């Protein structure tokens, strides 16, 4: 059994192409488009995310975010991507493989967000399907986990379409929008059949 992935943690994750989307490492130059999309999508995102700090959309907070992404990636803890629509390079959302655990676990947690103007158009489904081979190949993970609030039917459907299986309910699992919330737990294993 491999306990460490073969690629060095100093490497920048490659761009990943999916059906109509490209996933790539966030850059400082993405700030304006990111901030505008997040602000325009605030009401859509707030019910499903941790509470936003007051300065969340400022340039300084974005720089800190990028530094944290880089540090986490260097330490093999987390891998963050922005999701772009392939036909016009529009930023549509973001996706992260976080909480990477090595040793006997070889697992990571999948999180994602989608800008409101691009929701329910298949972009995040394509992104999750595209990132799975990176997680199981380049990162050598055995297990990719995800969680969603039980009332978030769209997220549950997305995970199931991407080959994740429901595993149970975790009580007060994450603090979402300032409140500890139950979450439905899903996982996809390296050896699970790919989704159709």
Alpha helices in 12-163 (DSSP H): 31-40, 42-45, 59-74, 123-136, 153-161
3-state secondary structure of 96: strand
- The answer, yes or no, to whether residue 9 has pLDDT greater than 50, is no
Query: Which residues, 6 or more positions from 114, have their beta carbon under 8 angstroms from its beta carbon?
Result: 41, 83, 92, 93, 123, 124
Task: Give the distance, in angstroms, between the CA of residue 105 and the centroid of all CA atoms in the same chain.
Answer: 19
Residue 157: CB partners within 8 Å, gap ≥ 6? none
**Integer angstrom CA distances of residue 126 from 42, 91, 93, 116:** 23, 14, 12, 16
What pLDDT does residue 28 have? Answer: 96
Sign of CA dihedral 146, 154, 42, 132: positive
**Which residue ranges form the domains of the chain, and what is each CATH number?**
16-145 (3.40.630.30)
Per-residue model confidence as pLDDT tens digits over 149-182? 999 999 999 999 999 999 999 999 999 999 999 9
pLDDT in tens, 48-66: 999 999 999 999 999 999 9
The structure tokens listed for 88 are 């016009």
User: What is the phi-psi region of residue 11: left when phi exceeds 0, alpha when psi lies from -120 to 50, beta otherwise?
Assistant: beta
Question: What is residue 117's DSSP assignment?
Answer: G
């Amino acid at each position: 059994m491999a306990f460490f992935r073969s690629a060095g943690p100093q490497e920048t994750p490659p761009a990943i192409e999916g059906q109509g989307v490209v996933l790539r490492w966030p850059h400082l130059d993405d700030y304006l488009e990111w901030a505008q999309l997040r602000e325009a999508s605030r009401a859509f995102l707030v019910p499903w995310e941790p509470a936003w700090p007051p300065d969340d959309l400022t340039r300084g907070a974005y720089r800190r975010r990028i530094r944290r992404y880089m540090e986490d990636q260097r330490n093999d803890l987390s891998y963050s991507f922005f999701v772009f629509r392939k036909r016009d390079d529009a930023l549509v959302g973001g996706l992260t493989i976080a909480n990477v655990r090595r040793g006997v676990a070889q697992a990571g947690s999948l999180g994602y967000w989608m800008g409101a103007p691009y929701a329910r158009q298949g972009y995040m489904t394509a992104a999750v399907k595209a990132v799975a081979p990176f997680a199981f190949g380049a990162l050598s993970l055995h297990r990719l986990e995800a969680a969603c609030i039980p009332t978030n039917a769209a997220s549950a459907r997305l995970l199931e379409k991407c080959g994740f299986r429901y595993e149970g309910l975790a009580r007060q699992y994450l603090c979402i929008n300032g409140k500890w919330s139950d979450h439905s737990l899903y996982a996809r294993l390296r050896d699970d059949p790919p989704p159709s």
